C-alpha cells in the first residue's frame, strides 16, 4: 500500500486522487489559520518555491481539531493563506486528523510512522514511491526539514 491509493477534495469540492502526485516527494501538513505555528505557512511556501521544480509538493490540510484554531470554511482558509502568506501550494478540504473521524490519509500517515498528531502543523514526509519516511512535530520548522527533503529529491 502507498499514499497514492488515497483521494481527497480541493476546497471547492473537486475530487483529487493522490496518484496525480506519483513520483513526487510529498510533505503533508495539518494546518490552522489561528495557531501560534501559523507563520510556518511562510516557510512551507519557501519549501514549495525552492524544491517544487525538483519534485516536492507541499500539501496543506486545514484542521479545526486543536483549540478550534481553524474555524473558517476551506475556501476561506484558502483565501486567507493566499492573501496573508502568498501560498500557492495545494490546500485541501478541512479534515480531522485524529480520533474516530480522522481522514483516512492521516490514519495511514500516523499508522506508518507509529506517531500521533498532537497539534497543528504536524508534518509527514513521503518519498517518491509513496512511502512515509518521517513525521515531524509542530515545533520542527519547515526549513529544518529541508535537508531530509533534499536527500529524497536526489
**105 Cβ contact list (under 8 Å, min separation 6):** 3, 6, 8, 18, 28, 61, 95
User: Which of 3, 32, 35, 44 is the catalytic position?
Assistant: 35
**35: annotated active-site residue:** yes
Query: At CA 115, angle to CA 21 and CA 103, rounded to 5?
Result: 50
CA separation for the pair 47, 18 (Å, rounded) = 20
Active-site residues, by number, are 35
Amino acid at each position: 500500500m502507498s499514499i497514492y491509493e488515497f483521494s481527497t477534495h480541493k476546497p471547492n469540492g473537486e475530487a483529487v486522487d493522490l496518484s496525480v502526485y506519483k513520483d513526487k516527494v510529498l510533505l503533508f501538513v495539518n494546518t490552522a489559520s489561528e495557531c501560534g505555528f501559523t507563520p510556518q505557512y511562510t516557510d512551507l511556501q519557501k519549501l514549495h518555491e525552492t524544491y517544487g521544480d525538483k519534485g516536492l509538493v507541499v500539501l496543506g490540510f486545514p484542521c479545526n481539531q486543536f483549540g478550534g484554531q481553524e474555524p473558517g470554511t476551506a475556501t476561506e482558509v484558502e483565501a486567507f493563506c493566499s492573501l496573508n502568506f502568498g501560498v500557492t501550494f495545494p490546500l485541501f478540504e478541512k479534515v480531522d486528523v485524529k480520533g474516530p473521524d480522522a481522514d483516512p490519509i492521516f490514519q495511514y500517515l500516523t499508522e506508518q510512522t507509529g506517531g500521533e498528531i498532537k497539534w497543528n502543523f504536524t508534518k509527514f514526509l513521503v518519498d517518491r514511491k509513496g512511502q512515509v519516511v518521517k513525521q515531524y512535530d509542530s515545533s520542527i520548522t519547515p526549513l529544518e526539514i529541508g535537508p531530509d527533503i533534499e536527500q529524497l529529491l536526489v
